[in-house]
A and B are shown apart, each in its own frame.
Chain A
Amino acid sequence: MTISEAREKVFSGEVKLRQIVEQYINKIESDNEEINAFVYTDFEGALAQAEEVQNRIDEGSAGKLAGVVMGIKDLICERNKPTTCASEILEGFESVYDATVIKRLKAEDAILIGRVNMDEFAMGSTNEYSKYGAVKNPNNTEMVPGGSSGGSAATVAADMATATLGSDTGGSIRQPASYCGIVGLKPTYGRVSRYGLVAFASSFDCIGPLSHNVEDAARILDVIAGFDERDNTSSHREKSDYVHAVQNPQKNIKIGVPEEFFGEGLDDEIKKSIEDILSKLEAGGAELVPIHLPHTKYGIATYYILATAEASSNLARYDGIRYGHRANKDEMVDELKLEEQALTEKVAAAVGEEKIALQKELAMMDSPLARLYKKSRTEGFGSEVKRRIMLGTYVLSAGYYDAYYGKAQKVRRLIQNDYKEAFEKVDVIVSPTAPTTAFKLGEKLDDPVQMYLNDIFTTTANLAGICGISVPAGTHSNGLPFGIQFMADAFEETKVLNAGRLVELLK
């Protein structure tokens, strides 16, 4: 059910909002056990909210999202609800405040029915790295839904909510949207406040909608976009009329086709399908412009250096001291004592250089505080998060900073310039969203580099800070959906929405 369908039903009086909520509750109760998208539901709260919103509908004072039932990715803070980022380290943590986007959704009468699964701290491309277990693709439950907003995408694909919010740091909205056959919009960096979005990589993270169609994405963006004094990186720029752009799409747009995005590694069927779409758009009045984005090939490497660097710092606060998981203190103290004792005995027994080395080791032993940090974090973080914290720590370390972080920042600027130049010539740039359709659960878990390559078409938009959308492009012979991506210059969301709408209209 799309937003306009839901709204039409409740505003016409055909159904009460309560019935819509109940319908979703039923759907969640029947399907979620298998899909594993929702990790927390608040049915009672949703029903109570439905009553209030219904009253406003009856009074004629309801907001723009009255009738809409949404799931929220488990890293966007909702007051007094668990916010765990699918991580053990935030076990039992409830946010004490609402994220700005949550405030804005509530103010427009959206009903927030629950929290949805994700890759731990948004790090992953399959939604398999979650303390709640993997999410399954509703199109084929042997397949991954994509990630990190896999729960957000699966929820919409399984119609367990009207729409969801996800976050996109390197493709985490667009790639799962592609795998699940729905629409995912990554707004421009700074268009939507990040206040209350648990940070993975602060200079990349964007909140955006996942929805059944382009218009729904526009309707949600319209509510969540705009300056926020609590986020100094949010833009003062006025919002555009996103819904109008979708409802009145221009056909004579200039579409840049970058050679670099249609090369090796791309599934042939996906390639052909996108080419077909482009021919049809051209026939409808669009102009196809071959372009070059020469630094694209450095995108993945640059992204994984910069994003992990920021993550290593952003995740330092999870130390088990003030909230979240803390290792058992008594066990830790006992363990330290035993280690110290064993080492002391070794020192006593040793001679010469070995003794000196052991003495040094003894002197360098962890303080109880340091050990508590280490144990809490070792227990609390999953393997992928640890991998990225280590990568990020490494690239910022003395002696390596210039070679990695410093260089990656320079490449980021080159990639930004590629796009800047391209957008002088075209309205949007087209590409596949991901090189393949969804793959089997567990298939790439042992090969992080293969996993990272899934982001090949999506990361550069985050590096450049521009906006992008993934729209369903077709169904593969393997029965799975895949998406087409449009990117536009910063704050040109209307252009990607417009292009996305044109693709929808081809069907």
Chain B
Amino acid sequence: MGDLLGQGRRLRRTSLPSPTPDAVVSCAPAVTAVAPGFATAASVTPSVFIALVERAQAGDRGALEALVRQRLDQSYRTARAILGNDADARDATQEAFVHAWRELPRLRQPERFDAWLRTILVNSCRQALRGRRRRLVREIAVGDPAEQIASFADPAAAPDERAVAADVLDRAFGHLPLGERAILVLHHLEHLPLAEIATTLAIPVGTAKSRLFAARQELERALEVELR
């Protein structure tokens, strides 16, 4: 495919939803997906985690801080994947944890904290998207995106190709409504089973399945628009 950024380069002017400079400029290499059960701090056993939730429910801010450290990275990356930029992801993550703190006494089953937090996070992303309709005009390099996207999952592909492909996919992703973004992120980033996705989005499992399928189709359509 050659040096697509150096040869045959054409500039395309596009209106995009709130990209961040680092995402536009650096086109950072793909980050290896984090497995479910991530932890920034040292992982704790389920029983200890539940005890932390219960202590936080009782007003223990130290326990909440521990929960934040346990779940921050995963929450932030989920928000980042849904929203597509650092600033909104930061706000949504912070809002989600503050909201969780306020509402923790309402959580009836501490063992469901993760699913509950995810639901709050998705809603915070929705609020962030609603509140920030920033649009930027930016210039990006485009070669033959279709082939590049196909090579996205190819570890042997050149970083530049992966970057351009990622950018095209990123723009297509940005055209999706939040609900579809969320279901794709929960499935492809957090690798959640459908039952957990249904929990997060408060929909039946069957609906989650059909929405995941519809989101894939919608992304395909958005991608084809981007490739024209």
Decide whether A and B assemble into one complex: no
The interface of chain A, by Cβ under 8 A from chain B, is none
